[in-house]
Amino acid sequence: MKLTEKTVALLGYGRANRAVRAYLAPFGCRFAVYTEQPPDDATTAELAAAGVPVRVGAFPAVFREQVLARSPGIRPDLPAIAASVRMGAVLLEESGLLLEGAPVPVIGITGSDGKTTTAALSAALLSGAGVRTFLGGNNGVPLLPRVGEMQLGDVAVAELSSFQLMTAPRAPQVAVITNVTPNHLNWHVDMAEYVAAKCRIFDGNTRLILNAENETTRRIGEARLAAGTTGKTVFFSVEEAAVAAYPDAAFLRTGVLILREQGREVTFDCLGSFRLPGRHNLSNLLAAVAATHPFTKGQGLSALAAFGGVPHRLQRVAEVGGVTYINSSIDTSPTRTAAALSALGGRPICIVGGRGKGISLAPLGDTLAARAKAVFLYGEAAEEIEATLGGRVPARRFGRFAEAFAAAAAAAKAGDTVLLSPGCTAFGEFRDFEARGECFCRLVRELGARRAQLCSPPASDVASQ
């Protein structure tokens, strides 16, 4: 469908639909915003000045607009949306417009865990090889507004969530599925729908990079190999044995990274300069190298030395009073918390909680019981997590995040590590995991300032010296 001079219903007005409006406005489209909560004053004023009506509250039974642009968190099968589509409305979403409109190859990256780091690593490798790169997507930076800047020779790296992929109209040229584990089951109908959404990231022509160590992605890849698709399927694993049966694979061998394609092996001696801790980050690196190799041809590895990871992922904030504080607010699932604890080693004091995703938190309890020195819980999931601990590790429960932080900091002694790795989403108390991580960093800075003030001699004492 051509999108010239259409009426467009923006269902939600966050970053994604702001990008959709900016992209479609030059085509003469007319907009209306539908939102559960009123926008802030500045946004309301801007929309009013542009003549964009804002309709607050429940959706109508049927939308009158010709095009429906949904925010990623809005399910595409809501009754009002389904009724409108049956009557001829077109349903789209920001990342789908990107996949259709980008004039350059797109590397799409999804997965339950690791997609943000893998996307950032891919962008770093491409940039290091001299390829102009556009990075964005589910990391909070829509790529759609930058489509007009993209030129021949550029590459776009798009982090894509299952929410976005539910209505993806086409697949990217290269796709990565880092892993698939139970996640977002408070939004998806069931695990089958979640897996199906992830699989929309590829078609028969896509170069597909899959985790051989994850049962779901391994089965996806083996089914694809059996089907004999045109697109190449490349498996990755830290262990060479796990990919020995596959013709195309990325793996580690005696301290070097190997990419095998069509029986030919290319060696990458890059692990010495790779700074990110943990086995899971080696997996992320393997996926990124396999995804970007058609564009980098093995160049760009020097960028790894400067790659310090992504914000809110095992981010060392500060040392205060001999206690190290680490922000891993991006860990919104039990598997991410397990990976963080494995990467750190030792037995840190953990701050955990928030809002669950409709998945079992028993694995989180088992991980914390085995690896944490103490656990400080907050938020809606705190009671459930405490129950899974079963008294196997000291734990205290609080209503607010700042209260849990204060108690964890008070319990920590010199040599300890306080780790924020929540295992749950930030929703409820915070806008998103970034806001939660920023709050943690601010609390650490304030703690450091108070301690420095207490340890500083009075001004009169300094003057008398």
Ramachandran bin of 353, using left for φ above 0, alpha for ψ from -120 to 50, beta for the remaining angles: left
End-to-end CA distance of the chain: 79
**pLDDT of 196-253, one tens digit each?**
999 999 999 999 999 999 999 999 999 999 999 999 999 999 999 999 999 999 999 9
What is the reported pLDDT for 455?
76
**pLDDT of 76-114, one tens digit each?**
999 999 999 999 999 999 999 999 999 999 999 999 999
Query: Do the beta carbons of residue 223 and residue 199 sit within 8 Å?
Result: no
Query: Is 7-92 a domain of CATH 3.40.50.720?
Result: yes
Mean pLDDT of 117-131: 98
Greater confidence, 265 or 2? 265
Q: Which residues contact 30 (CB under 8 A, 6 or more apart)?
A: 5, 6, 7, 8
**Cα–Cα distance between 72 and 110 in angstroms, integer?**
14
Going by pLDDT thresholds of 50, 70 and 90, the confidence category of residue 458 is low
Closest CA to 162 of 241, 215, 216, 204: 216
- The alpha carbon of residue 279 and the mean position of all alpha carbons in its chain are separated, in whole angstroms, by 18
**pLDDT of 273-311, one tens digit each?**
999 999 999 999 999 999 999 999 989 999 999 999 999
What is the reported pLDDT for 372?
98
What is the reported pLDDT for 211?
99
What is the reported pLDDT for 2?
85
Query: Do the beta carbons of residue 397 and residue 377 sit within 8 Å?
Result: yes
What is the reported pLDDT for 355?
96
For residue 424, which phi and psi values (nearest 5 degrees)?
-145, 165
What is the reported pLDDT for 76?
98
Residue 78 tokens read as: 């809501």
What is the reported pLDDT for 461?
55
For residue 135, which phi and psi values (nearest 5 degrees)?
-115, 130
Give the angle subtended at the CA of 302 by the CAs of 292 and 134, to the nearest 5°: 45
**Cα–Cα distance between 429 and 368 in angstroms, integer?**
23
What is the reported pLDDT for 232?
97
**pLDDT of 266-283, one tens digit each?**
999 999 999 999 999 999
- For 48, 70, 256, the CA distances from 53, given in Å and listed in that order, are 7, 16, 58
Q: Is the pLDDT of residue 340 over 90?
A: yes
Hey, what CATH topology would domain 98-306 get? UDP-N-acetylmuramoyl-L-alanine:D-glutamate ligase (3.40.1190)
pTM (two decimals): 0.91
Mean pLDDT of the chain: 96
Ramachandran bin of 332, using left for φ above 0, alpha for ψ from -120 to 50, beta for the remaining angles: alpha
Query: Do the beta carbons of residue 9 and residue 74 sit within 8 Å?
Result: no
Q: Is the pLDDT of residue 462 over 60?
A: no
**HSE, side-chain direction, 13 A CA sphere, residue 202:** 27
Hey, what CATH topology would domain 315-454 get? Protein-Tyrosine Phosphatase; Chain A (3.90.190)
**pLDDT of 387-409, one tens digit each?**
999 999 999 999 999 999 999 99
- For 148, 159, 447, 452, the CA distances from 440, given in Å and listed in that order, are 37, 25, 11, 18
- For 211, 233, 250, 271, 404, the CA distances from 238, given in Å and listed in that order, are 10, 17, 8, 12, 36
**Cα–Cα distance between 238 and 255 in angstroms, integer?**
10
The domain segmentation of the chain, as residue ranges, is: 7-92, 98-306, 315-454
Going by pLDDT thresholds of 50, 70 and 90, the confidence category of residue 453 is confident
Residue 274 tokens read as: 């790779």
Mean pLDDT of 381-386: 97
**HSE, side-chain direction, 13 A CA sphere, residue 464:** 5
Asked if domains 7-92 and 315-454 share a fold, the reply is: no
Q: Is the pLDDT of residue 460 over 80?
A: no
